[in-house]
Each structure stands twice: as structure tokens, then as C-alpha cells.
Amino acid sequence: MVEIASQIVLCLVIAALIGFFIGLIVGKLIGEKNQSSIYSANTVSHVGAQSNIYNKPLIRSAPRPMGKDSLQEIEGIDRNLEVKLNEIGIFHFDQIAEWTPKNCKWIEEHLKLEHKQIEDENWLVEAKNLSKNPKIR
């Protein structure tokens, strides 16, 4: 009985070693193909990958139930930029009004805007005014 059990264990160990080496060989072959495709891939995106996550402004996963604000009312925000802001979770004037200088820098880097564009176009001031006076909209 012990002899049969030892033969079974020996067969299982041999099968495991064979499986390991086959997996190692196949993994190396597939890994080389994937590695070359990773380095050759040329991805294009409208968002910058180098922005610091700790400077990211407060975002929302969806607009409030009453709907999103028309960010185009802020001078310098066109339809395309509003879509990009919505994609990253900026839907309301009060979100923009609460941005710090680091948040502004993050947005400019992330959306590839001009340096100091947010400050130069007074987005924060306009957003504060629009969030305080909803009837003006």
C-alpha cells in the first residue's frame, strides 16, 4: 500500500515539474511578444499622464440630481473643454470656485491647457459669482 502511494506521489511531482517547465517556456514566449507590443504601442489621449494625483481637485462621479451646470458660461470654457471637465468629474460652478492654485495647476497639466490659463481667464472668480447667483444664469 505504501509502495503504491509513493508511486502516485512521485507521478504527481513529475507531472507538476513538467507542467511548470511547459508553463515557463510558454510564458517566456508570450511575454516577449507582449513586452514588444507594450513598448511599441503609441497611445494618444487628451489627458496628461504626468499630473500629480495629490493636487487633483474635488470631483464627483455624477452631477447632482438637479443637473449639471453649463460650464460654458465661464469665459474660456468651450464645449470641448466642458466635455473634458465632465469626464474627469467637474460638473458644477462651486467645484471650480473651490479650486486651490495646486488644483488649477493639476487641471492645466491634466487637460493640457496653457500655463496659468485658469488664472488668466478668471475661472475661479466667475465660478464663484455664478455659484452664488444661480438666477443670473
Give yes or no for a contact between 84 and 46, defined as CB atoms under 8 angstroms apart.
Answer: yes
24 in the same domain as 75: no
With respect to residue 33, please indicate whether it lies within any of the assigned structural domains: yes
**Residue 16: helix, strand or coil by DSSP?**
helix
Q: What residues have CB less than 8 Å from 17, skipping those under 6 apart? A: none
72 in the same domain as 104: yes
d(C-alpha 32, C-alpha 39), whole Å: 11
Per-residue pLDDT tens digits for 15-58: 999 999 998 888 888 876 655 554 444 444 444 445 567 778 87
77 in the same domain as 112: yes
> CA-CA-CA-CA torsion for 111, 87, 57, 73, nearest 10 degrees?
80
91 in the same domain as 71: yes
Q: Write down the pLDDT at residue 35.
A: 56
82 in the same domain as 21: no
Domain count, the chain: 2
36 in the same domain as 101: no
With respect to residue 80, please indicate whether it lies within any of the assigned structural domains: yes
With respect to residue 137, please indicate whether it lies within any of the assigned structural domains: no
With respect to residue 121, please indicate whether it lies within any of the assigned structural domains: yes
- Residue 135 pLDDT > 80, yes or no? no
Q: Which residue segment(s) compose the domain that 35 sits in?
A: 1-42
CA angle 30, 33, 34 (to 5 degrees): 85
Per-residue pLDDT tens digits for 10-20: 999 999 999 99
Give yes or no for a contact between 90 and 98, defined as CB atoms under 8 angstroms apart.
Answer: no
Give yes or no for a contact between 62 and 92, defined as CB atoms under 8 angstroms apart.
Answer: no
Per-residue pLDDT tens digits for 81-109: 999 999 999 999 999 999 999 999 999 99
With respect to residue 61, please indicate whether it lies within any of the assigned structural domains: yes
103 in the same domain as 80: yes
Q: Which amino acid, residue 98?
A: E
64 in the same domain as 38: no
